[in-house]
Amino acid sequence: MDALAKYRNLLGDMGRYGSALRLLSWDQETHMPPKGIEARSEATGMLSRKRFELLVSDELARCLAELREADGLSEVERASVRHVGKEHSRNRAIPPALVEEKSAAEAQAQAAWAAARKASDFAAFLPHLEKMVGYARQFAEYYGYDEHPYDALLEDFEPGMTCRKLRAIIEPLRAELVPFLKKLVDEGTAPDASFLRGTYRVDEQRRLSRRALEVILYDFEAGGLADVAHPFTILIAPGDVRVTNRYVESDVLSGIFGALHEGGHALYNQGIPAELYRLGVAGGASNGIHESQSRMIENQVGRSLEFWNFFQPVLAEHFPQFGRVAPQALFAAANLVAPSFIRVDADEVTYNFHVMLRFEIEAGLIDGSIEAADLPELWNDAMKRYLGIVPPSDAQGVLQDVHWSVGAFGYFPSYMLGNLYAAQLYATMRDQVPHLDAAIGRGDLKPLVGWLRENVHRYGAMYEPQELMERITGHELDSAHFVRYVKEKYGAIYGCQTPSDS
Amino acid sequence: MDALAKYRNLLGDMGRYGSALRLLSWDQETHMPPKGIEARSEATGMLSRKRFELLVSDELARCLAELREADGLSEVERASVRHVGKEHSRNRAIPPALVEEKSAAEAQAQAAWAAARKASDFAAFLPHLEKMVGYARQFAEYYGYDEHPYDALLEDFEPGMTCRKLRAIIEPLRAELVPFLKKLVDEGTAPDASFLRGTYRVDEQRRLSRRALEVILYDFEAGGLADVAHPFTILIAPGDVRVTNRYVESDVLSGIFGALHEGGHALYNQGIPAELYRLGVAGGASNGIHESQSRMIENQVGRSLEFWNFFQPVLAEHFPQFGRVAPQALFAAANLVAPSFIRVDADEVTYNFHVMLRFEIEAGLIDGSIEAADLPELWNDAMKRYLGIVPPSDAQGVLQDVHWSVGAFGYFPSYMLGNLYAAQLYATMRDQVPHLDAAIGRGDLKPLVGWLRENVHRYGAMYEPQELMERITGHELDSAHFVRYVKEKYGAIYGCQTPSDS
């Protein structure tokens, strides 16, 4: 068998293990009964090991070496060799004993974090946090980097991104957004959202979520919608991309935006060709690009006046009390801006601040300029600087996110990058697709989804994010698009536009 | 590592593959979207192969050989060596190429059967049926047998059962039941079931099924209930035993009895200790014993007057139209007897006839005394003999069951044996548990489930069925218990008891 055939076989088996693992994981969050956890962990552990053994195998190393020199590979195959090759090398770089040690420590740290958050007791989490920071630093050294150890970790989530680049992106963004937020709060008029107060039956919200997913052209023949505590989207395999959602009885909008957000991720996954999946390049260009797809559907589409023009009657079919509410009122109420403590509840204007402060802290923890013990103080200081508020407890502050307890340092920037990519992609799409707003206003998302399929989805992980952005928009990420979008939209809603914003 | 530790490790891995496979299979019937089937088949194929490789491995052979000679094994360990050893030898006995060939032919035969049944076109299925009979005969030769090739196939479903024993069980049963059915039909008064006609909301039926499962002490913390087209129960792993059900809008009883039937299987699985699972003896003593547990909960319990005494108010909570219906009326209506064409819809009195005729045909096909081409005629003759009716089409006759298309020759007798085991076990339980009927009449199933746990469930597959029956009831299977049960119950309902029946 030649190297390519052998390579494809290996990736095929890895894909099949991966697919089984993702189903086990989806089931664990959706249907597995509590008493099934012990056996489930064992099955998951074994299948992960089997997949990992193939990923770091000498056989794969030999195939990759041969294919790097081979002629006549297709563009997808070459992208696969680069992409899989990187995953292979990075995983081989870490001593297996260290991986296992970290994995065990992670389980403990996550449990400790959950308990510490509940009790708002940072001191109880501190030793675990210190341990996880230690592992992250060790991993960074094994991975290697040019400038900053944090760069080595970023690579897992945002290939090609570095501390230096992130700072260059954040600096002008912060300079624009901090005064803009102040202006909105001080001079603007917040929209009225009091009419949203009420109790909304969960089963009706679930049906409404299905409607929202149908609107955005999510393919239910290749997916499904399930209830969970913490929503996510998962690509089980080609033809099987599942969305999950949660519903809050007192908040009808959160279920809708949850569905749109996850639906955006799902459209990306459903738009990636099966051939890319078979070659291990189906995961999306990066976490940030993936997030751009969810945020675009949630915010640029779902929080637009056009969307509410056609969705208000749909909402009213399920909840008749909205039959006489103007689309404009729903649009405005869906776009309240207010500094708040919790990242996942933040609006479009304040969201990125939550990420900036986490990035500062993470980078400092990894390069040693910040001690974990000082985090509560640093956190609260940064909240004050960015948002002008200080959380009343660590549970609502430094302890709110799960990420550090599972050692995911370098993940947070993806959330901000997603917002920025989304704005830039959306600006380009608007230039290229005639009558885009009018189509959305009719509930016709074919032009929009078609453009995303053609320009973003079909490439999967073939290109790194900046290369992809350049191919699509003509230049690398530039936060000016986001700033323009936010100023225009919220300036209008809050009635405080300035000449320079137009 | 000593042989026992190595053996336990191998079984552990086989169990983990099995658990993942069963989850994939459950998901395929419950939540997998249609477009996911191709990738799912690939994942299932690979994991099955991995499990199979361990099952027939030389390593397992060496462990088994060593453990057969070893001292100091526990009773469960010895049972495991016997049980797993048999599975190992049987699977090693068949040339791998033949297994693959049959597997491919099976997929085609099943598709052909589905199409042929739809068109009621036996001729279209015939060549596939002949092929499957051919494989079954080859397998029987490879497995080996003393008297009849069919015995080699029975062993998969009912260890220790043979053609000769089956005939000895069937003969007296037929001799009693044929005239008894005639008497019921000719002389008895069929209960009125017309009050059951109506439309019953599926979501309410689903809630009612949950209630029924709670009544029989099914543990939802170690399971769950999902919708499917063809109900089944599946042991994913210890602590995770799932029930499925389907609901017919026009038939409120079918959902209840479906839940009770599957719940009976599930109680068995939930009652088998994890240690037996780890040692590969958690599957139940046989298909027939498993079926005895589902039939007992469905029939001896669910179709009793005691059950309806407490369940009528529960039913009325969900469907208020039953608020003024007497439990006695529900009990009688749930026990209508009528010769019918379809096995799965048959009542307690006629069900076994459907099995007897299939057994006659199967045994003849395997020993060559019957040609597949003659099946429609033979089928209709047998229906006439046993039930006095002839199906109007092969779709409602010889083509109704999936079993032969997937090569499952020897499976059908389990259904009959389940009924007979259930009656014998129930008779013993009644002798041993004081006030059993009174407890059921109060909706208290603790004494019943406790007895099953103690006498049946906790042994899993440690003993072969006849040994188990002897341990529990003092003698091997005797159909007289079933005959007595049926005559007593239906004689009373139909008002045609005779002195000899008392």
Cβ contact A35–B236 (<8 Å): no
- Rounded Cα gap, residues A284 and B218, in angstroms: 43
Q: At residue A133, does pLDDT exceed 90?
A: yes
Mean pLDDT by 10 residues, chain B (502 residues): 93 97 96 95 94 97 97 96 97 92 92 95 97 97 97 97 97 96 95 97 97 98 96 97 98 97 98 97 96 98 98 98 97 97 96 97 97 97 95 97 95 98 98 97 98 98 97 97 97 81 44
| pLDDT value at residue A502 | 42
Contact between A191 and A239 under an 8 Å Cβ cutoff? The reply is: no
Cβ contact A23–B24 (<8 Å): yes
Cβ contact A31–B239 (<8 Å): no
- Give the three-state DSSP class for B27: helix
How far, in Å, are B196, B209, B305, B312, B383 from residue B318 at the CA level? Answer: 14, 10, 20, 10, 39
| Chain A: closest CA distance from residue B96 (Å) | 21
Q: At residue A9, does pLDDT exceed 50?
A: yes
Judge whether A435 is closer than 8 Å to chain B, CB to CB: no
Judge whether B223 is closer than 8 Å to chain A, CB to CB: yes
pTM for the full model? 0.95
Q: At residue A362, does pLDDT exceed 70?
A: yes
Judge whether B32 is closer than 8 Å to chain A, CB to CB: yes
Tell me: the pLDDT tens digits for B297-351?
A: 999 999 999 999 999 999 999 999 999 999 999 999 999 999 999 999 999 999 9
Residue B136 is which amino acid? A
| pLDDT value at residue B85 | 98
Q: Which of A342, A352, A374 is nearest to A361 (CA)?
A: A374
| Token pair listed for B82 | 């016997």
Cβ contact B38–A13 (<8 Å): no
Contacts of B3 (CB under 8 A, 6+ apart): B62, B63, B66, B67, B70
Tell me the percentage of chain A whose pLDDT exceeds 70: 99
Burial (0-12, 13-18, 19+ Cβ within 10 Å), B395: middle
Judge whether B40 is closer than 8 Å to chain A, CB to CB: yes
Tell me: the pLDDT tens digits for A252-310?
A: 999 999 999 999 999 999 999 999 999 999 989 999 999 999 999 999 999 999 999 99
Computed from CA positions of residues A23, A25, A30, A35, in that sequence, does the dihedral angle turn out positive or negative? positive
| Chain B: closest CA distance from residue A32 (Å) | 7
Instruction: Report DSSP state, residue A495.
Output: T
- Rounded Cα gap, residues B279 and B195, in angstroms: 50
φ, ψ of residue B231 in degrees (nearest 5): -60, 145
Judge whether B31 is closer than 8 Å to chain A, CB to CB: yes
Chain B residues in contact with A43 by the CB 8 A cut-off are 16, 19-20, 237
Chain A residues in contact with B36 by the CB 8 A cut-off are 222, 236-237, 239-240
Chain A residues in contact with B221 by the CB 8 A cut-off are 33-35
- Rounded Cα gap, residues A90 and A308, in angstroms: 46
Chain A residues in contact with B236 by the CB 8 A cut-off are 36, 39
What is the rounded end-to-end Cα distance, in angstroms, of chain A? 63
| pLDDT value at residue A498 | 61
How many residue pairs from chains A and B have C-beta atoms closer than 8 A? 105
Residue B335 is which amino acid? N
| Chain A: closest CA distance from residue B290 (Å) | 22
Contact between B350 and B340 under an 8 Å Cβ cutoff? The reply is: yes
Computed from CA positions of residues B29, B35, B37, B40, in that sequence, does the dihedral angle turn out positive or negative? negative
Average pLDDT of span A13-23: 97
**Nearest-CB residue to A36 (from B17, B39, B239):** B239
- Rounded Cα gap, residues B319 and B198, in angstroms: 11
Judge whether A228 is closer than 8 Å to chain B, CB to CB: no
SS3 content of chain A, % helix, strand, coil (to 5): 70, 5, 25
Contact between B214 and B220 under an 8 Å Cβ cutoff? The reply is: yes
Q: Specify the DSSP element, H or E, that contains B43.
A: helix B37-55
Helix ranges restricted to H, A191-286: 202-215, 252-270, 274-278
Judge whether B36 is closer than 8 Å to chain A, CB to CB: yes
Contact between B350 and B486 under an 8 Å Cβ cutoff? The reply is: no
Instruction: Show the CA angle centred on residue A459, arms to residues A453 and A462, nearest 5°.
Output: 165
Chain B residues in contact with A236 by the CB 8 A cut-off are 36, 39
**In chain B, which residue's Cα lies nearest the Cα of A39?**
B237
| Token pair listed for B199 | 């439309």
| Token pair listed for B80 | 């495991």
Judge whether A202 is closer than 8 Å to chain B, CB to CB: no
What confidence category does residue A497 fall into, taking pLDDT thresholds of 50, 70 and 90? Answer: confident
Cβ contact A237–B43 (<8 Å): yes
- Rounded Cα gap, residues A33 and A213, in angstroms: 28
Q: Which of A350, A395, A397, A352 is nearest to A378 (CA)?
A: A397
- Rounded Cα gap, residues A123 and A115, in angstroms: 11
Q: Specify the DSSP element, H or E, that contains A227.
A: strand A223-227
| pLDDT value at residue B502 | 41
Active site residue A262: yes
Residue given tokens 């030793």 in the structure block: A127
Q: What order do you get walking across the sheet with B240-245 strand by strand? A: B223-227, B240-245, B233-237
R_g of chain B, CA atoms, integer Å: 23
Chain B residues in contact with A39 by the CB 8 A cut-off are 19, 236-240
How far, in Å, are B128, B341, B394 from residue B122 at the CA level? Answer: 10, 16, 7
3-state secondary structure B227-282: ECCCCCEEEEECCEEEEEECCECCEHHHHHHHHHHHHHHHHHHHCCCHHHHHCCCC
**In chain A, which residue's Cα lies nearest the Cα of B15?**
A43
Candidate list B155, B262, B291, B464, residue with the active-site label: B262
| pLDDT value at residue B501 | 46
| Chain A: closest CA distance from residue B447 (Å) | 24
- Give the three-state DSSP class for B335: coil
- Rounded Cα gap, residues B231 and B226, in angstroms: 9
- Give the three-state DSSP class for B14: helix
Burial (0-12, 13-18, 19+ Cβ within 10 Å), B34: exposed
Cβ contact A36–B220 (<8 Å): no
- Rounded Cα gap, residues A400 and A1, in angstroms: 52
Judge whether A34 is closer than 8 Å to chain B, CB to CB: yes
What confidence category does residue A465 fall into, taking pLDDT thresholds of 50, 70 and 90? Answer: very high
Q: DSSP letter string over A363-416?
A: HHHHHTSS-GGGHHHHHHHHHHHHHS---SSGGGTTTS-SGGGGT-TT-THHHH
Chain A residues in contact with B38 by the CB 8 A cut-off are 238-239
Contacts of B183 (CB under 8 A, 6+ apart): B496, B498
Confirm whether the ipTM is greater than 0.90: yes
Residue given tokens 């006759």 in the structure block: B397
- Rounded Cα gap, residues B60 and B7, in angstroms: 7
| Chain B: closest CA distance from residue A36 (Å) | 5
- Rounded Cα gap, residues B449 and A264, in angstroms: 49
What confidence category does residue A496 fall into, taking pLDDT thresholds of 50, 70 and 90? Answer: confident
| Chain B: closest CA distance from residue A223 (Å) | 5
Q: How far is CA A166 from the centre of its chain?
A: 17
Burial (0-12, 13-18, 19+ Cβ within 10 Å), B494: buried
Q: What order do you get walking across the sheet with A233-237 strand by strand? A: A223-227, A240-245, A233-237
| Chain A: closest CA distance from residue B434 (Å) | 33
Candidate list A158, A262, A348, A360, residue with the active-site label: A262
**Buried (b) or exposed (e) across A246-274, using 16+ Cβ within 10 A?**
ebeeebbbbbbbbbbbbbbbbbbbbbbbe
Partnered with residue B235 across adjacent β-strands are B241
Cβ contact B240–A46 (<8 Å): no
Residue given tokens 């490879």 in the structure block: B142
**Nearest-CB residue to A43 (from B20, B32, B34):** B20
